[in-house]
Amino acid sequence: MRLIKCVLTASMAAAFILSSYASVAAPIKGADVSWMSEIEANGISFYNRSGVKKDILAIMKEQGMTAVRLRVWVNPADGWYSSTQDVVAKAKRAKAAGMKVMIDFHYSDSWADPGKQTKPAVWKNYTFQQLMDAVWNSTIHTLQAVKDAGVTVDWVQVGNETNNGMLWDDGKASVNMKNYAWLTATGYNAAKSVFASTKVVVHLANCHDNANFRWIFDGLKANGGKFDVIAASSYPTNATGYTWQAANTACLTNLNDMVSRYGVPVMIAEIGVPWDHAQAKTIVADMITKVGQVSGSKGIAIFYWEPEARPGWKGYTLGAMDNNGKATAVWDAFK
């Protein structure tokens, strides 16, 4: 009897260890596929790892992804895509596929990133109070439209890669951190007014740059900013002065510091590598594992950025399709 008990105990311990090992990965895996509607409108198809033509969301699910991230622009400079109407249509498709949804507000008519945070043209001459009102109204307008379409939003991102704030120059953090914090709080409150339980995300680029993250989030905390989740972009092969291994390690160190310092979960909102990089799958798989290793199980998700893009689409080469639109090996990192 004692022998049987010992064997059972040992078996249970082994099962626990194996279970724990298997769980060391980002719990939620997904992708920003905001380009999908425009790519489809251009007559371009997507092919899975076996070369079978499929809907991009079906390919995502085959590869273990369960969430989508969708950007929204105010009056899109490039046409209709990433408008509220386009975002609603894609969110409905995601819901029908049984996937979680993250809405990424750029608060711009085009790309917002660390090098540019341009106000929408119609907001250009607004007073700061009018700018806060515009953030409030724009956030509610899009989220209410998504809600009316029957979709529940899991995360709302207030600003995109706001390493020096947003809506420049009024919300430029290095000029007026308080303004940036108030704009962020306005977006936060607007999102909660539509989806009370949705998690609101603040997102910075350069996951390896701990000093910038501390500066922004200390500034938000000191000036009334609000956030439920801290998100980072990680492009390991583009991190100046780092090998990809060092960039991934520095990113994990930073994520752990964010959890310790601010007590909130973290995620990788964007990751990407060159589509033909010999170690593409290894690089992404390593980061997926590292998100799962964040202290206190606070690493909640990782999103690949535009994996449906073929090489050269819009000049972008960090998608995850080959020249024929077939899914490359990097997709297997998510399985």
Question: pLDDT tens digit string along 116-172?
Answer: 999 999 999 999 999 999 999 999 999 999 999 999 999 999 999 999 999 999 999
Residues of the chain with pLDDT > 70, as a percent, come to 93
**Residue 192: CB partners within 8 Å, gap ≥ 6?**
198, 200
In a domain, 9, yes or no: no
R_g (Cα) of the chain, nearest Å: 20
pLDDT of residue 24: 64
- Confirm whether 108 is domain-assigned: yes
Rounded CA separation 243/179 (Å): 36
pLDDT given at position 16: 37
User: How far apart are the C-alpha atoms of 190 and 135, rounded to whole Å?
Assistant: 8
Query: Is residue 1 situated within a structural domain?
Result: no
For residue 243, the enclosing domain spans 29-334
Contact, 103 vs 156, CB < 8 A? yes
- What mean pLDDT do residues 64-92 have? 96
On the 0-12 / 13-18 / 19+ scale of CB atoms within 10 A, 285 is middle
Helices (H) and strands (E) in the chain, counts: 9, 8
Q: Average pLDDT in the 223-232 region?
A: 98
Placement of tokens 């529940």 in the chain: 152
Residue-wise pLDDT for 5-40, tens only, equals 333 333 344 333 333 334 467 799 999 999 999 999
Q: Residue 194's CB: how many other CB atoms inside 10 A?
A: 19
| Count of domains forming the chain | 1
> Contact, 103 vs 138, CB < 8 A?
no
Specify if 270 maps to a domain. yes
pLDDT in tens, 307-328: 999 998 999 999 999 999 999 9
Handedness of CA 223, 183, 172, 204 (dihedral sign): positive
Sequential DSSP letters for 64-121: T--EEEEEE-SS-TTSSTTSHHHHHHHHHHHHHTT-EEEEEE--SSS--BTTB-BPPG
Residue 79 has a pLDDT of 86
User: What is the rounded average pLDDT of the residues 79-92?
Assistant: 96
With both helix axes pointing from N to C terminus, report the angle between 244-262 and 210-222 in degrees, rounded to the nearest 10. Answer: 20
- The chain-wide mean pLDDT, for the chain, equals 93
Query: Whole-prediction pTM value?
Result: 0.92
Map tokens 């949804």 to a residue. 101
What does the alpha-carbon distance between residue 303 and residue 28 come to, in Å, rounded to a whole number?
A: 8
The predicted pLDDT at position 12 comes to: 40
* Predicted confidence (pLDDT) per residue in 180-203, tens digit: 999 999 999 999 999 999 999 999
Report the CATH number that the domain containing residue 321 is assigned in CATH: 3.20.20.80
* 5 assigned to some structural domain: no
Residue 88 falls inside a structural domain: yes
* HEC sequence for 129-178: HHHHHHHHHHHHHHHHHHHHCCCCCCEEEECCCCECECCECCCECCCCHH
Both structure tokens of 102: 């993250």
Residue type, 166: M
Q: Which of 225, 213, 146 is nearest to 179 (CA)?
A: 225
Q: Give the pLDDT score at 315.
A: 94
pLDDT value at residue 275: 96
The verdict on residue 299 lying in a domain is yes
**Under 8 Å CB-to-CB from 120, ≥6 apart: which residues?**
73, 74, 75, 107, 108, 109, 134
Which whole number is the average pLDDT over 249-265?
A: 98
Residue 72 falls inside a structural domain: yes
